Amino acid sequence: MMKSRPIAATLAFVAAAGLLLSGCSAPAGAEAGGEKKLTFMFRGGEDEKKAYEKAVEQFEKDNSVDVDIIVTTADQYATKLKAAIAGKEVPDVFYISPGDVQAYVQNGIVKDITQYVENSDTIDLDNIWEYGVDSYRYDGKRVGEGAIYALPKDVGPFSFGYNKTMLEKAGIPLPDKDKPYTFDEFVAAAKKLTADTNGDGTLDQWGTGLNVQWNLQPFVWSNGGDWLNEDRTKVTVDTPEFAESLQWFADLQNVHGVTPSVAEAQTLDTYQRWMKGEIGFFPIAPWDLSTYQKLGFDWDVIPYPAGETGKSATWTGTLGIAVAESSKFPEDAAKLVEYLTANKEAQQSLVDAGIQIPNLKDMAEAWAADTSTKPANKAEFLEIVKDYGRELPAGNTFNAEWYDELFTNIQPVLDGKQSAKDYLKEAQPRMQEFLDSANQQAGN
Amino acid sequence: MTTTMRRSRLHRKEHQAALVFVAIPVIGFLLFTLFPLIFSVYASFTNWNGISAPVFKGLDNYTKMFGDRYFLKSLWNTLYMMIGIPVGLVISLALALAMNRKMRGTTFFRTVYYLPVISSIAAVAILWQWAFNGDFGLINQGLSLIGIGGPNWLQDTATVKPALIIMAVWKGLGYSMLLYLAALQSVPRYLYEAAALDGATAWQQFRHITVPMVRPVTFFLIVTSIIGGSQIFVEINIMTPTGGPEFESATIVWYIWQKAFDNLQMGYASAMSVVLGLLVFTITFIQFRLNRRNQFSID
């Protein structure tokens, strides 16, 4: 007996290790005892995590379902989710971006939840942003139409704003919230703001400071240009409209000098400067609102300056919540998705955290009418979602390689060393090649 | 008779126990190293997006690679950034020599230089990102004190690689220094005494005693740094999340990761990892061959 103890101990250890390993990979919901168990995987910062934990807790109470939460950081999410998929351990409920819908549906990863949604008593499709729901529809050919594969966790209208205090001090008439600036008017206002206010010989206040990757779209679109043709088969960045707007964007720095010093494409700088009150015009998105409440100056939201078309444009981001095809409890999983995206209390706690606008239309109208928090013109966000917001150019293609290519070599244009026209002419064939291969992959 | 029986039974039991112990790492290796390795070699011959079933495509991925300018560029970037390895070795040997002397505060300095090694690379990368900020970064503020207007380090094609090299050298210094220190302390004193009696200068002692005596450590550091350097990823992804201006800081592992997880090209990414694996293996093999020729020992 005594002698066999080391072996027994070892075997016990091996068995324990084995259990540990299989414990990690035990499929969700396979729990003994008949209790329903879901896993919910998402990403986000502290605010988001807290708000969702609270919402999930309430859901567990109301539905007697056990929900395991897996949170990752934003940059690890894709890796972890794909590892889970490769290991055939797809979480029951997880975040998905519109760009992934095509691939995930084709490979049977996400479930068609149209039926659940239509028969749901939590969710009223008429009261939730069409833009958000449509981003997760797919008919086997195109994203945007057909069956519902996810519901929007949020919609993120990427709006524009200004430092009211600064404009007033400079004696510039405040911009009209219903009539966008033209490109020229915007440059004129920005020039007036760019100044050395303390007289030490260096500039300490600028008109604007924009990051090309997130801010080029509004100007291209409002100038009549676009990245792709209608059926998403041809890259159209080599048009005069596109070139003109990119050139204008680069000229803000190189010709007009209304942005902080050379090569300051790093948002970090301009973001910090905006918060310090050194920048006149800057993008404002819903996820900034909680931070911007604490700014030491007055600010508001306006439509983006518009080019040739005279009509503002911008993008609306969104992230969806989907149910796994492999889920053992699809009905409960769908219920959780509905709860997180459309339950009033859950939505309220997310809106209160200052990280998103309400998903529900009636709630959003009430939120926009509330003048106790900034900005005054909250209605602009809703305007974008309802009317002029578009999806990011790579949102509906199989992957974003073609889109990223535009930005990979763009620096010389921003530095004024290459003209936008020449650069776009050069980039178009390379982008086209990537797009073709993405479309080809989507086809098989 | 009975004693031998007992002994052999004990022996057998212990032997069995040993096998179980040995089995744990072996199973771990098979499951978590060998299987993924073989699988990625298989995946490299397929068109696989990471979520569907792989489709066999023969050598497609391999032929594609050599026409892919970003693959070649990221390979070049990775090689370029290895300039930091010899630089780091020289500095850390110098530091180790300094630390090896009997003077006050060496413990303090050893700690200071070792601190970066145990710090999380993600945190360190964020710190350096701030330090390299062209506008208000610590480095440019320091440079402006002596009248130099520093570049926008991470946004400039000419400075992004040097910036990353500086950081890598800083991060690795403590580790190499510590190993050198251990090596220096095990050099027998009588060698120096004998050399001094024969009239060798300090430089000659260093050149003919210290350097050869720490050679095994140098070899070890070179091999591990090249293997580590060819897999540099985290700092690149944090400091230049888009691969840097004009792809100047994209390393091979960063590119593989981007293809695999951002662009749904797991098959192609696998092929690139296989090529990277072969390259690293070849380089290491050559190093071992060269080293064998230089080996000597003292009794």
Please write the tens of the pLDDT for every residue from A2-11: 444 444 444 4
**Predicted local confidence at residue B50, as pLDDT:** 81
Strand A389-390 and strand A314-323: pairing?
parallel
CB contact under 8 A, A411 and B263: no
| Domain extent at residue B28 | 2-43
Q: Are residues B262 and B154 in the same domain?
A: yes
Strand spans (E) along A258-329? 279-284, 299-302, 314-323
Helix (H) / strand (E) element for A67: namely strand A66-72
Q: What does the pLDDT average to over B148-158?
A: 85
Within 8 A by CB and 6+ apart from B13, the residues are: A3, A4, A7
**Nearest CA distance, B191 vs chain A (angstrom):** 49
Q: CB distance from A14 to chain B under 8 Å?
A: yes
Give mean pLDDT, residues A96-122.
90
Per-residue pLDDT at B299 exceeds 50: no
**B18 and B153 assigned to the same domain:** no
Asked whether residue B103 carries a pLDDT value surpassing 90, the answer given is no
Is the pLDDT confidence value at A47 over 80?
A: no
Query: B165 and B21 in one domain?
Result: no
**B148 band by pLDDT with thresholds 50, 70 and 90:** confident
A132 within 8 A of A358, measured Cβ to Cβ: no
Any idea which residue has 């000098």 for tokens?
A: A257
Whether residues B34 and B109 fall in one domain: no
Q: Are residues B109 and B205 in the same domain?
A: yes
Specify the amino acid at residue A380.
E
Query: By three-state DSSP, how is residue B58 classified?
Result: coil
Contacts of B260 in chain A (CB under 8 A): 82
Q: How many domains does chain B have?
A: 2
What is the share, in percent, of chain A residues with pLDDT greater than 70?
90
Q: Is residue B52 part of a domain?
A: no
The DSSP symbol for A303 reads P
Residue A26 reports pLDDT greater than 60 = no
Q: What is the pLDDT of residue B295?
A: 61
Cα separation, A277 vs A296, in Å, equals 7
Task: Work out the minimum CA distance from B128 to partner chain A, whole angstroms.
Answer: 14
pLDDT at B214: 93
Hey, CA dihedral for A272, A275, A276, A277, is it positive or negative? positive
Given a cut of 60, is residue A14 above it in pLDDT?
Answer: no
Q: Rounded to whole angstroms, how far apart are CA atoms A277 and A265?
A: 18
Using an 8 Å CB-CB cutoff, list residues of chain B that contact chain A: 10, 13-14, 16-17, 20-21, 23-24, 47, 49-52, 55, 133-136, 152, 154-157, 237, 241-243, 245-247, 257, 260-265
Query: Tokens at residue A194, please?
Result: 């760019």
A106·B52 Cβ contact <8 A: yes
Residue B148: both structure tokens together: 């130099």
Q: What is the mean pLDDT of chain A?
A: 87
A182-204 mean pLDDT: 91
Shortest CA distance to A91 belongs to which of A23, A28, A24?
A: A28
Both B247 and B101 in one domain: the answer is: yes
Which residue among B51, B261, B262 sits closest to A104, beta carbon to beta carbon? B51
* Cα–chain center distance at A167: 29
Q: Is residue B59 part of a domain?
A: no
Residue written as token pair 């072969």: B278
In a domain, B88, yes or no: yes
Query: Is B136 among the domain residues?
Result: yes
Query: How many angstroms away from the CA of A295 is the closest CA of chain B?
Result: 21
Which pLDDT score is estimated for A193? 95
Judged by DSSP in three states, B92 sits in: helix
Would you state the pLDDT for residue B280? Answer: 94
Burial of B10 from C-beta contacts in 10 A (0-12 / 13-18 / 19+): exposed
Give the model's pLDDT for residue A9. 46
Spell out which residues of chain B touch residue A107, defining contact as CB-CB under 8 Å.
49, 51-52
Task: Name chain A contacts of B24, Cβ cutoff 8 Å.
Answer: 14, 17
Residues of chain A found within 8 Å of residue B247, distances taken between Cβ atoms: 408-409
Asked if B23 and A404 come within 8 Å (Cβ–Cβ), the reply is: no
- Please tell me the distance in Å from B256's CA to the nearest CA on chain A: 12
Is A325 an interface residue toward B (CB < 8 Å)? Answer: no
- Are A409 and B51 a contacting pair at CB < 8 A? no
Q: How, if at all, do strands A206-208 and A150-157 pair?
A: unpaired
Closest CA in chain B for residue A88: B51
Whether B137 and B259 map to the same domain: the answer is yes
Q: Give Cα separations from A228 to A242, A393, B183 (angstroms).
A: 11, 7, 62
User: CB contact, 8 Å: A266 with chain B?
Assistant: yes
Q: Which pLDDT score, from 0 to 100, does residue A29 have?
A: 41
Look at B242 and A408 and tell me if their CB atoms are within 8 Å.
Answer: yes
* B224-254 pLDDT per residue, tens: 999 999 999 999 988 988 888 889 999 999 9
pLDDT for res A131: 93
CA end-to-end distance (rounded Å), chain A: 62
Say if residue B86 is exposed, middle or buried (CB neighbours under 10 Å; 0-12, 13-18, 19+): exposed
Residue B135 has pLDDT above 80, yes or no: no
Flag whether B53 is in a domain.
no
Percent of residues, chain B, with pLDDT higher than 90: 64
Under 8 Å between Cβ of B276 and B252? yes
A78 touching B (Cβ < 8 Å): yes
Residue A19 has pLDDT above 80, yes or no: no
Give domain status of residue B92, yes or no.
yes
Q: Are residues B36 and B123 in the same domain?
A: no
| Residues on chain B touching A75 (C-beta within 8 angstroms) | 237, 241
Average pLDDT score over residue span A4-20:
44
- The CATH number given to whatever domain includes residue B173 is 1.10.3720.10
CB contact (8 A) between residue A75 and residue B261: no
Mean pLDDT of A141-147: 87
Tokens of A77: 């999410």
Across all residues in chain B, what is the average pLDDT? 89
What is the C-alpha separation between B274 and A172, in angstroms, rounded? Answer: 61
Q: How confident is the model at residue B8 (pLDDT cuts 50, 70, 90)?
A: confident
Q: Are B231 and B119 in contact (CB under 8 A)?
A: no
Task: Check B133 against A269: CB less than 8 A apart.
Answer: yes
Residue A131 DSSP class:
H
Q: Show residues of chain B in contact with A441, CB under 8 Å.
A: 47, 49, 264
Are B70 and B198 members of one domain?
yes
Is B155 within 8 Å of A265 when comparing Cβ atoms?
yes
Please check whether residues B191 and B230 belong to one and the same domain.
yes
Nearest to A400 among B47, B55, B262 (CB): B262
User: What does DSSP say about strands A314-323 and A93-96: parallel, antiparallel, or unpaired?
Assistant: antiparallel
pLDDT recorded at residue A157: 95
Q: Provide mean pLDDT across the span A241-267.
A: 83
Domains of chain A listed by start with CATH number: 35-156+317-381 (3.40.190.10), 159-316+391-443 (3.40.190.10)
Q: Which of left, alpha, beta for B58 (phi over 0: left; psi -120 to 50: alpha)?
A: left
> What is the reported pLDDT for A239?
96
Residues B153 and B70 in one domain: yes
State pLDDT tens for residues B32-74: 999 999 999 999 999 988 878 889 999 999 999 989 999 999 9
Residue A24 scores a pLDDT above 80: no
Higher pLDDT, A270 or A113: A113
> For residue A103, which residues of chain B lie inside 8 Å, CB to CB?
49, 51-52, 264
Kindly list the distances between the CA atom of residue A285 and the CA atoms of A52, A210, A292, A375, in Å, as whole numbers in the listed order.
Answer: 20, 14, 10, 11
Q: Does A76 touch chain B (CB under 8 A)?
A: no
- Contacts with B, A 206-235, CB within 8 Å: 213
Inter-chain contact B264–A441, Cβ cutoff 8 Å? yes
Residue A13 has pLDDT above 80, yes or no: no
* Least confident segment among A161-165, A440-444, B30-34, B114-118: A440-444
Q: Residue B5 has what pLDDT? A: 58
Q: What is the pLDDT of residue B2?
A: 53
A161 vs B101 pLDDT, higher one? A161
| pLDDT value of residue A262 | 56
Question: Is B184 within a domain?
Answer: yes
- CB-based contact, A275 to chain B, within 8 Å: no
Looking at the fold, whether B138 and B217 belong to one and the same domain comes out as yes
Q: How far is A395 from chain B (nearest CA, A)?
A: 13
pLDDT tens, position by position, B188-216:
999 999 999 999 999 999 999 999 999 99
For residue B35, being part of any structural domain is answered with yes
